[in-house]
Structures are given as C-alpha cells and as structure tokens.
A and B are shown apart, each in its own frame.
Chain A
C-alpha cells in the first residue's frame, strides 16, 4: 500500500490511498495511519481496485474515515473498487454509506 499525490480536478493536491490486497483486521493499523494522515490533505482519493480480501473491520475503518472527512466538509472520492469489496459492502448494507461508485470507472 502506498500513497501518492496527483493533481485533482480542483487543482489542489489530492492524496491517493491505495488499499492493500489483503484488506483485513490484521493489517488495519497501517491503513488507519495513512488515512489519519490523509485527513489533513485537501482531497483524498481511495483506490480499492487491488483489494482481494476484505472484512467487516476494514469497511468499518473506511466508514469512520469517510464520516470524519465529511465532518470536515470533505468528500473522499473513489478511483476504483474491486468486485470483492463491492460484494462485501453489499452484504453488509454499506454501499450507500461508503458512497461506492456505481460501476468501475473505465
């Protein structure tokens, strides 16, 4: 997992958080650290395309992150979501709350 900066549409620096392939309980401390950092960035883009395994704890982490960002008036965007992640969010009824993109962007 890593984070890099890209030029966002608004012109400011957008932080990109690439979620790991194994996005589960054991590895969440690192993701949380990156997300905490990203809260200070003007814009954040989440990349879930690489996610192969995901659990409730991971989605809960993302959910809390999004709610925290929203409280600061920011809305993290998605650059992509894997089918596994979409399916898990669907089962847990979290698609809307996570504001997952309707389909994979081309």
Chain B
C-alpha cells in the first residue's frame, strides 16, 4: 500500500485506539469497583485490537508494549491470575502511557520514552512468567542486539488458521541473515499418522544483523497464541546494570499520574473541531427529510406555470405549510449532527476522581447522571475544563477527610454527583457534593482582606457565595497542586460565559454545595432581541438582557471624564450608546426618545442605549471572523427575514471596550 494510503488509515486507527483506551480505562475503573469478569474480556479485546493495529500500521514499539499488557490480561482472563488493585493500577498507567504514545505518534515523535520503558519492565515483572527479575532486566536491556536466537514452535492448528511459517520465516529473512534449523521431534513416525493440515514442525532460527526485538516480535504478531515463541539475544549490544534499569520503573508512577492529564489535554486539543462522528440513524433521518423536501418542492413547482385558480389555493397553502415543517425539521436534524452525548466529558472524571481522592486521602463516590444528554460539539469541547476545575475544587475543598466526616456525623465516603439535563432551551450541568459547604465567615474575611468588599454585613448568602467568582479570590489555606494554581473560579465563570452560559452556586454549610452550569443547547442559534439603531439593526442576546427602561432625559448624568451614568434600582450604571460605539448614522440621540436596555456581561451591568426594540427572534449565527474579520463588540452576524444583515452584539466585549474608554 502507498504511504499516503496507510497514513489515512493510521488516523482512523489512532482515533479508534483512543476510543479503545477510553473503554479500557472505564472498564478498569469499573473492575476496581467490583465489576464482573466480562469486563476483563472487554479490556482484553481493546488491548488486542490496539496491538494488532499498531503492528499493521507501523508502530512496532506500541505493538510490543501492548503485547506485554495483553499477556498480563490473558492470564487474568484465563483465571491464572487474580485481578487486584496493583494490577489495575499498573494497567491504568499502561493506558496513560499508550495515550502518550498515540500523542507522540500523531506528532511524529519517537514513541518510546523513559516512562514506557519503565512500565514495560514493570509489566514484564508483574507477569513473572517464572522468570526471575534479574533475567527480566536483562531481557529488557537487550532490546537491540547483533544476533538473535528465535525458537519458533507453531501449535498444531496454526496452518489450518491460515498462517504459514513459510511466510513468517521469509519475513524474518527480510530483517537479516538467517540460519534456519528445523526440528522434527514432533513429526509423526509414519505417513499414515500425519494429518496434513496440522503443523508438527518447529524451528530454531539464528538471525544475524542489528535488529530490534520489537521488529522480531512484530513478525510473529498475528500468530500470537498459535505458537510458542522464544526470542533471545545472542550478543547484547549495551548491557544495562539491573539497578539502573529499575530506577525509571520506580519513578514512573508519580510521573505518570501527571502525564495522564497532559496526554489527554494534548489529545483533546488536536481532536478539537477536527471531525465529528455521526450515527447512521441521524444521517438516514436527514436523507429522509431531504427526500420529503424534494417532494414538497416538486409539488409546489406545479404552481409555477399558469394562473393559480382558487380551487388550488388550499393545495398551495398545504404545500407551503409542509415546506415550513420540513425546513424546521431539517434544521433540527442538521443541528442534531453536532449534538453529542455529554458522556464523553463525564467519562474522564471517574479516573480523575480516583486519582485525586487517593492523593488527598479522601473517600469519594462519584455518581454520573444523565450522561446521554446531548449538547453541541463546540460546547462539549469547551465545557470540559471548567468542569474539571469544579470537580477538583469539590474534592479538594468541598469534601472532607473520612475522620472529619465521621465527626460531623456523616458517612466516611463523600458523594460527588455530576448531573446533566435539558431544561427548556438550555443544558444544565450540576456538580454537587455532600461536603462541608461554603464557609461564609471565611469567604467574607478573605474578601475583605483582598479588598473586594468593605464588610459582609447585610450580604445575602447568595451574594457571599458569589464572591468566590471574583478574580484573585481563593480561600484554600494551603495551596495544593490540585486546585488553587492561581486559576480561580473567575476563570470558570469567564469560560462558561464565553459559551453564552452562566455558573451559579447553592451551598449549605455542613451539607454541601451545588454548582450549576447553564449552557445554551447550541452556539449556532441564539435567542435575541432586535434593536434599531439609526438605519441599522442589532441583535442583543436575550440571556444578557436584564430589562429595558424608558428614561427621562435628566435621569442620565454626565460625569467627569466623559462618561454617562444613570440610576437603576440602587445602583448607578454606565451608559453605552450603541450609535456612538458603532458609529451609526441617523440615530436617536435624546435619552427620552430612545430606550435603555439594561444588560449584564462578565458580572457587570451597563445600560445599552438604542433607538428602540423591534422584536424577539431566533438568530442563526454566522461567523463574522470567518466571512470578514474580527470586530470588537460584535460576536457575529445574522441575516434578517428581509435579507439584510444584522450584527450580534457581544455584551462582554462592549463592557471591556467601555472600560478601556474610561481608562483612556
């Protein structure tokens, strides 16, 4: 096959293997929680596919590495070895290591690294295979040698399975010079006793040349389990002292935990918005709808010629109604293609919760609810990080250690719940824990110390809870490496706000906290109010609108420095004149002739002064950046019913622009 052709399949192989690794990981975690034996088979199958694929697509290092894990799994599967915590731990790290290998494969870097080498060694040691540890070290050391002795004894059924030693040895001959010695000891004494389809031969092959063990293993990859194979180096190139080889193995666990996140992040970064997998059902549904649309169109086409007499008017109306319905359904279905279950985000948490809780000495039970809730792929890709932050916070700051929980009269094991659901046109994701809850006094004290507020008196619990979203706020007395890396809840709020969503918190001291992230179902369509400014139309996203008021001229005061303020409830809010900001002509300038729309962006309220509001509508967002260029204060554009273009106002951007103007 050509190189380009293989590369194309390589990508598919990598994607599938990463899914396989996810399956392995979740199955291992389930097994850790007392899952059944079927899980072992699932894990084994995943490992086996990766091994086979890796050999086929030219990753012999990965293939031989996975082979070690597979051998271990095989022993578990066949009941030769009981699965225990240490094996699960080892296999989980193998999964991480393979993820790293795939990331390196995609980046075109060498696959093996110190972690992989150490882990391969550990797997071999765990396997034992009756080989003393020292020998295993020696085996590892001779990954490359000048000459090899390969003992190859096919099982009887190998020929019938379609694998011919002739082909294998020929392939081996491609690696270097061979000296093949056949073994006849299993050959039947008489011809009559020979079943021609069974293999009774064996070979001892000496292979001369600088060859890697992995390359030899790769040759025999497909006959794994159909033969006995022993590969020994005849001349070791660089013998390594056992002590030196053992060191990376010991260092591996710690390094690996950190690696897991990095590898994942790298993988997700590269996977982002590259492609989306769509189920056949969804595509069939689309094709069906398009078919209906074509039928309706041809039906309406009959009205094109000649006059429409009154008798056919009903039919025309019917056709138009059908067209409208099909268009709407088609829109929904096309949107549906971008919708993926949130499970892909949720699935990373069991592992993370396990690692973090072990590190902190806490007992945490993770409950996932509503994993099948679907949301837009773009939202899905971006919701991961804020959720990771919330989950880390919940375990680190929220949930208590077992003895503290006991003292508070709770069960030793804390519960962390991730729940996703549809609510109206939004997705609601809740991260809740039954931990200590927010400590009002500590938060108020901290906020005063940081100069965020002057005093906590008269503040509602909600207002106090809201303080943790302020930039620069962190109450963790000890900064751990888990949370409190200077990335605070304000970043979580900003990330969610970037997606057009909001984060709120509900907390009861001693009972726990609930963080609620509300997100739009899709970023492709927004609900907005159409505002007129001069000759132009702007869309103001509905989520950011607090209310709109008509003010008297004297309600707006000019302040020193050029800004304008108006009184809204008990606050003074700055005024942003949209015509001024965007330079619109023929706009209303007098305050009492226009309308003040109070909007909220990034936690700040401002008054948006427009000529008037025309009405509410759903706007299909077209990227301004892709079609023109990035414009400050504008998040996109849409096309109105009359065909004209309206810009969608980016409230957060406007607030930032206003801030800079004031500073200037």
Contact = CB atoms under 8 A, between A and B. Distances in A.
18 contacts: A25-B159, A28-B197, A31-B196, A32-B191, A55-B164, A56-B159, A56-B166, A57-B164, A57-B197, A60-B200, A64-B200, A71-B190, A91-B169, A92-B165, A92-B169, A93-B180, A93-B203, A97-B182
Given A28-B197, A57-B197, A61-B194, A91 B187 contact: no
Given A60-B187, A63-B184, A63-B187, A91 B170 contact: yes
Interface of A: 25, 28-29, 31-32, 35-36, 39, 54-57, 59-61, 63-65, 67-68, 71, 88, 91-94, 97
Contacts of A31: 196
Given A68-B189, A92-B203, 12 more contacts: A25-B160, A25-B196, A31-B196, A56-B166, A56-B199, A59-B166, A63-B184, A63-B187, A71-B190, A91-B180, A92-B169, A97-B184
B358 interface: no
Contacts, number: 79
A64 B188 contact: yes
B201 A56 contact: yes
A56 B164 contact: yes
B189 A91 contact: no
Nearest to B171: A91
A91 B197 CA distance: 20
Nearest to B183: A93
A32 B196 CA distance: 8
B542 interface: no
A93 B191 contact: no
B159 A57 contact: yes
Contacts of B219: none
B663 interface: no
A16 B374 CA distance: 75
Contacts of B173: 91
A35 B194 CA distance: 12
A75 to B, nearest CB: 15
Given A63-B187, A64-B187, A64-B188, A32 B182 contact: no
A67 B187 contact: yes
Contacts of B243: none
Given A56-B165, A91-B173, A93-B203, A68 B182 contact: no
B182 A93 contact: yes
B84 to A, nearest CB: 42
Contacts of B11: none
Contacts of A91: 166, 169-170, 173, 178, 180
Given A55-B164, A56-B166, A64 B191 contact: yes
Contact of A28 (B184, B189, B196, B203): B196
A60 B196 contact: yes
B82 interface: no
A54 B192 CA distance: 21
B99 to A, nearest CB: 40
